[in-house]
Amino acid sequence: MNMLNIKINNKEIKVAKGTSILNAAKEVGINIPNLCYHPDQEVKANCRVCVVEVHGAKTLQASCATEVKEGMVIRTNTQKVRQARKVVIELLLANHDMDCTSCKKNNQCGLQEIAANIGVRESRFENVLEKQEIDTSSPAIERDPNKCIRCGRCIQMCTEVQGLAILDYVGRGGLVDIKPAFGMYLNNTACVACGQCSVVCPVAAITEKEDIEQVWEAINNPNKTVIVQTAPAVRVSLGEEFGMEPGKIVTGKLVASLRALGFDKIFDTDFTADLTIIEEGHELLKRLNEGGTLPMLTSCSPGWINFIEQYYPNLLPHLSSCKSPQQMFGALVKGYYAEKIGKSPEDIFSVSIMPCTAKKFEAKREEMSIDGKNFDVDVVLTTRELAKMLRQAGVDFNMIEEEKYDAPFGLSSGAGVIFGATGGVMEAALRTVYEVVTGKTLENLDFKAVRGLEGIKEAKIDLDGTIVKVAIVHSLSKAKKIMELIKEGKADYSFIEIMCCPGGCIGGGGQPFGGTDELRIKRINAIYEADKELPIRKSHENPAVNKLYKEFLIEPLGEKSHHLLHTKYVDRKK
Amino acid sequence: MSNIEITKNILTARFDAINPDSIDEYISHNGYSALKKSLLKTGEEIINDIKTSNLRGRGGAAFPTGIKMEAVLKAYGSPKYIICNADEGEPGNFKDRYLMEKDPHQIIEGIIICAYATDIKHGYIFIRGEYINAINIMRKALEQARVKGYLGDNILDSGYSFDIEIYTGAGSYVCGEEFALLVTIEGKPGRSTYKPPFPTTSGLYNKPTQINNVETFCNIPHIINMGGEEFSKIGTSSSTGTKLISLSGNIISPGLYEVELGTSIRDIINKLGNGIPNNRKIKMVQIGGASGPIIPENMLDIKLDTKEMKKLDLCFGSGAIIVMDDRIDVLDILKRITEFFHHESCGKCTPCREGLTQMLILLDRFTDGIATTNDLALLEILMETMNQASICGLGQAAPIATQKVLEYFREEFTNKICSTDS
């Protein structure tokens, strides 16, 4: 590698050619503050917070956008730099809603953090903010333009990663805003509610719609039995909210803390992930055997469902009819479990903890209720909201002792856990489909080809002479490519797993703020670790699932399953 | 430099002597002769000649043209593009409009020679949208050049092919900034970006791009015809050739003048502009346009010379000279200039987007008589941050006029301070 000699704050170091000053400074232990920079995104260099002095340059240089050169002499903390940074932050604050103490991102805000770190005590400039309406039209995300610092991270995420471009810059000069075309409300746009914008937003301009109060009310209502389910991806990310290493598995603490909050039953969405594998696996076999529409597409990711319904409604027959694990769970809770514990569905309050904002939208779909009013899942909380509830209740997540899920929906297999990572649903399905079709025991359970952060992955499996070709896709820009292939009849796959968010659910829009690929990899590794640690690693070997079939569902794709576990999709082209 | 001729007609020699709609008249006035000569040379020979001429860009930044061309020639990547920046939006400037309207083929010939020298096949002329007349004249001229074989496939049987397209802007000032201009051609909104990389290595569609001002291209045929050595004798050692001056403001004879570089601003005002009407005194002069510095009357002997002006932190930019007599309200002028930039900022980077809003607020405090010493200190810190931290030249230059007034006419501000503490 071509190494260059540079000097940062009088310290001489060698760094690789192509390194930005921002990253070179990290190597000598200097964190240069920045707002618009994001390690996974194209350099924007518009916030101008990360400016530094480069010897010989006429002006200060944005360290995110400037590559080191041989012999470069850089100073990151001169009076000139400190003054410029301070003025830039003060300028941002002077066009910002300064309700920091009551802000949703109080203590989690990049602007607030830098202002505190560089010693801004007031903005010497007059506040010029013209208050705009907060867009609360979406059931999943909230857009507060009064907080926006116009860094453009959300735009890049929406446009480059998700391929949607719902948000963009509007206007120029002091009138520049980031908003949907024509200032439309989010729910009138073709937004899929994935919430990826909220994950990269450094301030509180885009956040999840907060539903915490409803849950507190239910918990404190003596007439309600409050049941909670936790998605696979939450257990590998919640710890980050409490200062733990990314990728720390906190399943037991998660269960204990939910119990501490006062939930009556703590169940695991992994259980219905296993159930999904049974139903979806049989649906795939049926399509393969009976000449059904292929490739079959997975249906667990509600952002992805929003995408296909709005952008490719003609391809809806490819979608598996299986509800997502969250909604299977909700349906079982209200349509089976309630009766089992002698309650009416109205007395049950069903909560799910999800890494996802689109799940909030999914839960409010009309077909996901008994009667259009009593929803199978009453409230969806994101990982971030659960962390907030725990802080509100003073639960010391680091201290709390691990506990176990409740029966009967607390038992799950490793196959259910890996639903949280891209390729996980496919791997789980292959483990089951192989054994169901061949009757043989699968020796190596790890399908490494389907794992990892590569955008589009492919694999083949030999089912007793029939070669089944599968594909795995995460993020919607990649999904779009696959959809185009299907449209052109060029996708010779039998089964495709599609996840809306980069990295799958572990990279969901409801996960802790500030997600990066580096973090996603750590969460993914944790997911596979959790899988390995479980005694049961195949969905069809989950005894609780088998018992449910025996006692209630009778058979996969049967009449009860059809009623409770499968759904229909709607052409919502916009 | 005693032999500097104030008026020296090189680029404007054919003005009104030929019909701009007639390529034949251009040809009969020695037109396209430089192209014919160039096609017999190698690119390196042409670039060397231009380097010898010491020609510097006429758009404002005064970067050596030959060095830019050399960088494009050596840059890796294909195709390469050449762009003529005719998005003349700097208030006070009207030289490019005249050049296009009065002698369009001079520009085209210059572009073709530069393109040939750097082995470029695709060219654009980016013309300010409001310049309808110039757009029509340039369109017609391009068509005539194609018919005569100066553009298109196999130019004059040389084996070299090249053509030029016209792209018109939608009236945004920032699109005169090269990166904002480039992305507009790509169909994106006109916003600037960081550099390096510079257009010479990564410009239009991230390909090596040679981008020059109209007047810069106009010099090229003359350099080829007289030779770089001869050209370099015109003007001063650090600023060779002539400069078109857009003279306006409180002046008896405003208009476009071509002067030899090295001429003093006072001579331009008095000898070409015939002085100030009504026997008034000059209060100040703005050089280069709205983004240029303001100097007081006692500095008018300064010469149009890059090196000399740089010593005083000045530059002549694109060559506008705006004369303001002693009746003007300095703060009113500064507010108007700041309002212009506030309106034209693309809004991408914080110092420019938010800084201009705050500059206006602070300037208002002075005109409203409520300014404090703190306001003055804050204004100066703000402007320094804009110079230092803005992403492009617009934000960096927007406060220059105000800063220069503070340097030369500080009392205009201090007289309006109502209290010493906030």
What's the number of CA atoms in the CB half-sphere (13 Å) around residue B10? 25
A–B CB contacts, 8 A cutoff, strictly below: 112
Residue (of A514, A408, A419, A529) closest to A474 by Cα position: A419
Q: Let me know the angle formed at the C-alpha of A458 by A457 and A460, rounded to the nearest 5 degrees.
A: 155
- Is B164 within a domain? yes
Q: Is A300 tagged catalytic?
A: yes
- Is B258 within a domain? yes
The residue type of B319 is: G
Q: What is the pLDDT of residues A358-373, one digit of tens each?
A: 999 999 999 999 777 8
Of residues A12, A133, A367, A555, which has the active-site annotation? Answer: A367
pLDDT of residue B3: 63
Structural domains of chain A sorted by starting position, each given as residue range(s) with its CATH number in brackets:
1-129 (3.10.20.740), 132-209 (3.30.70.20), 223-564 (3.40.950.10)
> What is the domain range of residue B350?
330-419
Is residue B266 domain-shared with residue B389, that is, in the same domain? no
CA-to-CA dists, residue A3 to A12, A17, B389, angstroms: 13, 6, 28
Quote the distance between the C-alpha of residue A360 and its chain's center: 12
Contacts of B279 (CB under 8 A, 6+ apart): none
Contacts with A83 from chain B: Cβ below 8 Å: 381, 384-385
CATH of the domain at B356: 1.20.1440.230
Q: Please count the structural domains in chain B.
A: 3
Domain boundary among B323, B342, B370: B323
pTM of the shown model: 0.94
Q: What is the pLDDT of residues A109-151, one digit of tens each?
A: 999 999 999 999 888 999 999 999 999 999 999 999 999 999 9
Kindly tell me if the per-residue pLDDT of B309 is higher than 80: yes
Contacts with B368 from chain A: Cβ below 8 Å: none
Cis peptide before A295 (omega within 30 of 0): yes
Q: What is the pLDDT of residues B136-180, one digit of tens each?
A: 999 999 999 999 999 999 999 999 999 999 999 888 899 989 999
Residue (of A495, A570, A531, A509) closest to A273 by Cα position: A531
Q: Across chain B, what does the average pLDDT equal? A: 95
CATH of the domain at B180: 3.40.50.11540
CA distance B116 to B193: 29
CA distance B248 to B244: 13
Tell me if residue B7 falls in helix, strand or coil.
strand
Q: Is A160 tagged catalytic?
A: no
Is residue B204 domain-shared with residue B67, that is, in the same domain? yes
Is residue B319 domain-shared with residue B336, that is, in the same domain? no
> Crossing angle for the helix pair A79-93 and A110-117, nearest 10 degrees?
140
Among A44-58, A458-472, B383-397, the minimum mean pLDDT is found in A458-472
Residue pair A479/A500 in contact by the 8 Å Cβ criterion: yes
User: What is the pLDDT confidence band of residue B2, given thresholds at 50, 70 and 90?
Assistant: very low
Kindly tell me if the per-residue pLDDT of A269 is higher than 60: yes
- Is B15 within a domain? no
The edge-to-edge listing of strands for the beta sheet with A225-230 is A265-268, A225-230, A348-354, A379-382
Is residue B272 domain-shared with residue B356, that is, in the same domain? no
> Would you call A173 and B356 a contact, using CB atoms and an 8 Å cutoff?
yes
Cis peptide before B79 (omega within 30 of 0): yes
> Would you call B345 and A172 a contact, using CB atoms and an 8 Å cutoff?
yes
- Is B236 within a domain? no
Contacts with A148 from chain B: Cβ below 8 Å: none
The DSSP line for A346-395 is GGEEEEEEES-SHHHHHHT-GGGBSSSSSBSS-EEEEHHHHHHHHHHTT-
Q: How far is B210 from chain A (nearest CA, A)?
A: 22
Nearest to A87 among B344, B347, B382 (CB): B382
Q: What is the pLDDT of residues A383-400, one digit of tens each?
A: 999 999 999 999 999 999
Is residue B177 domain-shared with residue B317, that is, in the same domain? no
- Is B16 within a domain? no
Domain boundary among B285, B300, B323: B323
The residue type of A90 is: E
CA-to-CA dists, residue B403 to A368, B125, B420, angstroms: 65, 34, 21
pLDDT of residue A233: 97
Q: Is A539 tagged catalytic?
A: no
Interface test with B, best of A172, A177, A178, A203 (most B CBs within 10 A): A172
- Is B13 within a domain? no
Nearest to B354 among A43, A49, A94 (CB): A94
More confident residue, B4 or B111: B111
Q: Is A240 tagged catalytic?
A: no
Q: What percent of chain A has pLDDT over 90?
A: 93
Residue pair A499/A233 in contact by the 8 Å Cβ criterion: no
Q: Is A320 tagged catalytic?
A: yes
Q: How far is B388 from chain A (nearest CA, A)?
A: 5
- Is B14 within a domain? no
Place of tokens 């990310």: A237
ipTM reported for the complex, 2 dp: 0.93
Q: Is A488 tagged catalytic?
A: no
Is residue B154 domain-shared with residue B292, that is, in the same domain? no
CA-to-CA dists, residue A573 to A462, B140, B352, angstroms: 38, 47, 40
pLDDT of residue B337: 97
The residue type of B11 is: L
Could you tell me which residues of chain A have a Cβ less than 8 Å from any Cβ in chain B? 43, 45-49, 51, 59-60, 62, 65-67, 80, 83-84, 87-88, 91-92, 94-95, 124-126, 128, 149-150, 169, 171-176
Q: Across chain A, what does the average pLDDT equal? A: 95
Rounded (to 5) percent helix, strand, coil in chain A? 40, 15, 45
Nearest to A173 among B345, B385, B387 (CB): B345
Q: Is A427 tagged catalytic?
A: no
Domain boundary among B304, B323, B342: B323
| pLDDT mean over B5-29 | 94
CATH of the domain at B312: 3.10.20.600
Q: Is A299 tagged catalytic?
A: no
> Would you call A175 and B347 a contact, using CB atoms and an 8 Å cutoff?
yes
Contacts of B226 (CB under 8 A, 6+ apart): none
Interface test with B, best of A52, A81, A87 (most B CBs within 10 A): A87
Q: What is the pLDDT of residues B180-219, one digit of tens each?
A: 999 999 999 999 888 889 999 999 999 999 999 999 999 9
- Is B221 within a domain? yes
pLDDT of residue A345: 93
CA distance A76 to A570: 55
Residue pair B372/B420 in contact by the 8 Å Cβ criterion: yes
pLDDT of residue A231: 97
> Would you call B342 and A171 a contact, using CB atoms and an 8 Å cutoff?
no
Contacts of A385 (CB under 8 A, 6+ apart): A208, A210, A211, A212, A510
Q: What is the pLDDT of residues B396-409, one digit of tens each?
A: 999 999 999 999 99
Chain B residue at shortest CA distance from A168: B189
Quote the distance between the C-alpha of residue B269 and its chain's center: 20
Kindly tell me if the per-residue pLDDT of B7 is higher than 90: no
Of residues A158, A191, A300, A322, which has the active-site annotation? Answer: A300
CA distance B291 to A60: 19
Which strand (E) or helix (H) includes residue B111? helix B104-117
Is residue B366 domain-shared with residue B412, that is, in the same domain? yes
Q: Is the dihedral of CA A316, A322, A325, A326 positive or negative?
A: positive
pLDDT of residue B169: 85
Is residue B152 domain-shared with residue B30, that is, in the same domain? yes
Residue pair A206/A141 in contact by the 8 Å Cβ criterion: yes
Q: What percent of chain B has pLDDT over 70?
A: 98
Q: Residue A64: beta bridge partners? A: none
The tokens for B363 are: 């300037």
| pLDDT mean over A160-185 | 95
Is residue B301 domain-shared with residue B156, that is, in the same domain? no
pLDDT of residue B420: 65
Tell me if residue A170 falls in helix, strand or coil.
strand
Residue A239 burial by CB count (10 A; 0-12/13-18/19+): exposed, middle or buried?
buried
Q: What is the pLDDT of residues A45-56, one digit of tens each?
A: 999 999 999 999
Of residues A123, A257, A299, A320, which has the active-site annotation? Answer: A320
| pLDDT mean over B304-311 | 95
Q: Let me know the angle formed at the C-alpha of B174 by B171 and B178, rounded to the nearest 5 degrees.
A: 115
Contacts with B361 from chain A: Cβ below 8 Å: 125-126, 128
| pLDDT mean over A311-316 | 97
The residue type of A394 is: G
Is residue B294 domain-shared with residue B352, that is, in the same domain? no
Is residue B30 domain-shared with residue B82, that is, in the same domain? yes
Is residue B45 domain-shared with residue B124, that is, in the same domain? yes
Q: How far is B8 from chain A (nearest CA, A)?
A: 34
Tell me if residue A101 falls in helix, strand or coil.
helix
